Amino acid sequence: MWGGTFTEPTDPRIVAFTASFATDRRLLQWDLAGSIAHAMMLGETGIIPAQDTADILAGLRSIAADAAADRLPVDGVFEDVHSFIEAALYARVGDAAGRLHTARSRNDQVLTAFRLFAKQAAIDVVAAVLRLMESLRTRAAASIEIILPAFTHLQHAQPVRLGHYLLAQFWALARDTDRFAACYRRADVLPLGAGAVAGVPYPIDRRRIAQLLSFSAISDNSIDTVGDRDCAVELAAAVALLMVHLSRWSGEIVLWATDEFGYVRLPDRVAAGSSIMPQKKNPDAAELIRGRAGRAIGDLVALLSMLKGLPSGYHSDLQEDKAIVFGAVDLALSSVQAMTILVDALEFDAQRMRDAAGRGWMTATDVADYLVRKGVPFRDAHRLAGAVVQEAAARGQRIDELPMDVFQSVSPLFDTDVLAAVTVAGAVNARETPGGTGRAAVLDQLAAAQAAEGQIRGWLEAASAALAPVRALLEG
């Protein structure tokens, strides 16, 4: 593909070191689609002859068909996927293949294929996350009457419904889908036509290429275009935050599966054993999700570190973006799938959760709230509630087990209705504000969750439909 001014061959060891084919061959279909659109535009504008255009298009589509049917091994000693395609095209159509690279550089060519990949990756991850969200919502709806402790500082805080707890994971994932949709939008800008760095001196029609490849816009500046990897960073960042969310939930599953908590049981199909301790059932999948979050964070740091010192324009450092992003996307897809299997399989111990919710004087805030409703300023009510907790601790009783004379010794404002207010059920049912753990509030939240799934599903359908013409290019 180059070498006109070179007087000696490149050292094979340098060739092997600089080659990216082992990684970027994953872009084969997207590079073929970009090349087909480019060739169509070249023919339509008269930049290359019509017959050469027809031959090139037929050759590119035959490569796509043979690769899809495993009749064409995508391997060999090639610098990158682009040189592989060009060599295959020469073998099929002869000298006409040499016209395909007119009015483009590998700099804008590879970025076009990469942006198409990024758009599809965003779709794939959102689809996988949506399945996990559906599983969480289903489990939440089925466990709305189960009460367990919520934690702050990993200490018993206040009682909540298990459905409310599971929906907390749901809404974090909903934000993740929004971030991936933004990644799609950011990648939806055509770089082809920027050339190597200065644009191209041919009367190309960039908007026609954008139409053929389903890009909603074309890039504005050729220098910025060829060095821009914002969409790669944002995709890696979205993956990293998704993995952090999965990691936090995984950490809770690990804790909940211990004998000390006992909130969940792991069916054999999602557990692992020990090579030495026959009694063990280990949450390996959850632990590996938690561990792999570190890799996702590392991918983001690696990409940012690579970019931070680069001058304007293209540099071979940017070749590293694909291995990083491919790995991050694969990590996200496999981890989301594993978490979905876990969520579907977990067996919740409702009695253990209810028993735990009765420990730790978790309705102390409700004692204070009771006094506030009687007209006591909250800070004073907080102090008086603390005195009630001290009495309960000294007696070894729950707050709702204390006799009325204890309450009234702390404040004469306490009446018999306090005993219902400070039960676990009373505390949970009192929180009916939007987003709270009261039954009606959680039911509203479930309805909102189902509506959110519908919106995400609608985005997926629209985004997938927008990319469908790109795949159709491969088939003519």
Q: What is the CATH number of the domain that holds 35?
A: 1.10.275.10
Average model confidence (pLDDT) across the chain? 95
Q: Where does residue 313 fall: left (phi above 0), alpha (psi -120 to 50 degrees), or beta otherwise?
A: left
| DSSP alpha helix (H) spans, 50-105 | 50-68, 81-93
Task: Give the Cβ contact number of residue 201 at 10 Å.
Answer: 8
Residues 127 and 244 in one domain: yes
Residues 372 and 352 in one domain: no
- Model pLDDT for residues 201-217, shown as the tens digit of each residue: 999 999 999 999 999 99
The one-letter code for the residue type at 239 is V
Residues 93 and 150 in one domain: no
Q: What is the pLDDT of residue 18?
A: 84
Above 80 in pLDDT, residue 1?
Answer: no
Q: Which of 251, 235, 229, 385 is nearest to 320 (CA)?
A: 229
3-state secondary structure of 56: helix
Above 70 in pLDDT, residue 3?
Answer: no
Residues 252 and 343 in one domain: yes
Task: Give the Cβ contact number of residue 194 at 10 Å.
Answer: 30
- How far apart CA 277 and CA 269 sit, in angstroms, is 18
- Model pLDDT for residues 378-420, shown as the tens digit of each residue: 999 999 999 999 999 999 999 999 999 999 999 999 999 999 9
Residues 371 and 345 in one domain: no
Percent of all residues in the chain with a pLDDT value above 70, rounded to a whole number = 99
Confidence of residue 428 (pLDDT cuts 50, 70, 90): very high
Residues 390 and 323 in one domain: no
Q: Which of 258, 260, 252, 254 is nearest to 359 (CA)?
A: 260
Residues 69 and 117 in one domain: no
Q: Where residue 269 sits, what CATH number does that domain have? A: 1.20.200.10
The HSE-up count of residue 377 (CA atoms within 13 Å, CB side) is 2
| DSSP alpha helix (H) spans, 206-283 | 206-212, 222-227, 230-256
- How far apart CA 359 and CA 201 sit, in angstroms, is 76
Q: Which domain holds residue 76?
A: 12-102
38 included as an active-site residue: no
Binning the chain into helix, strand and coil, the percentages to the nearest 5 are 70, 5, 30
Whether 455 is covered by a domain: the verdict is no
Above 90 in pLDDT, residue 460?
Answer: yes
Confidence of residue 282 (pLDDT cuts 50, 70, 90): very high
Residues 120 and 248 in one domain: yes
Range of lowest pLDDT (1-10, 131-140, 162-171):
1-10
Per-residue pLDDT averaged across 345-354, rounded?
97
**Structural domains counted in the chain:** 3
Q: Last residue of a domain, which of 335, 356, 377?
A: 356
Whether 49 is covered by a domain: the verdict is yes
Above 70 in pLDDT, residue 2?
Answer: no
Q: Last residue of a domain, which of 380, 405, 422?
A: 422
Given the residues 38, 83, 274, 335, the one annotated as active site: 274
- How far apart CA 414 and CA 421 sit, in angstroms, is 11
CB of 146 closer than 8 Å to CB of 161? yes
Contacts 24+ apart (CB under 8 A), 373-381: 374/413, 375/413, 376/411, 376/413
CB of 77 closer than 8 Å to CB of 25? no
- How far apart CA 427 and CA 352 sit, in angstroms, is 19
Whether 197 is covered by a domain: the verdict is yes
Whether 440 is covered by a domain: the verdict is no
Angle at CA of residue 90, ends 85 and 96, nearest 5°: 115
Q: Last residue of a domain, which of 310, 331, 356?
A: 356
- Model pLDDT for residues 78-127, shown as the tens digit of each residue: 999 999 999 999 999 999 999 999 999 999 999 999 999 999 999 999 99
Residues 413 and 267 in one domain: no
- How far apart CA 356 and CA 160 sit, in angstroms, is 11
Whether 428 is covered by a domain: the verdict is no
Whether 444 is covered by a domain: the verdict is no
- How far apart CA 100 and CA 89 sit, in angstroms, is 10
pTM for this predicted structure: 0.94
Looking at the DSSP assignment, which residues form a beta bridge with residue 189? 217
Angle at CA of residue 415, ends 408 and 160, nearest 5°: 105
Residues 309 and 398 in one domain: no
153 included as an active-site residue: yes
Q: What is the pLDDT of residue 30?
A: 98
CB of 263 closer than 8 Å to CB of 352? yes
Q: Where residue 382 sits, what CATH number does that domain have? A: 1.10.40.30
Per-residue pLDDT averaged across 175-184, rounded?
98
Whether 451 is covered by a domain: the verdict is no
Whether 453 is covered by a domain: the verdict is no
Q: For the chain, how many residues are written?
A: 476
Given the residues 38, 62, 153, 219, the one annotated as active site: 153
Residues 92 and 127 in one domain: no
Above 80 in pLDDT, residue 7?
Answer: no
- How far apart CA 45 and CA 53 sit, in angstroms, is 11
Residues 395 and 340 in one domain: no
Range of lowest pLDDT (6-15, 30-39, 306-315):
6-15
Which distant-in-sequence residues (6+ apart) come within 8 Å of 382 by Cβ?
Answer: 368
Looking at the DSSP assignment, which residues form a beta bridge with residue 148? 160
Structure tokens at 390: 């001290």
CA dihedral 140, 143, 144, 147 (to 10 degrees): -120
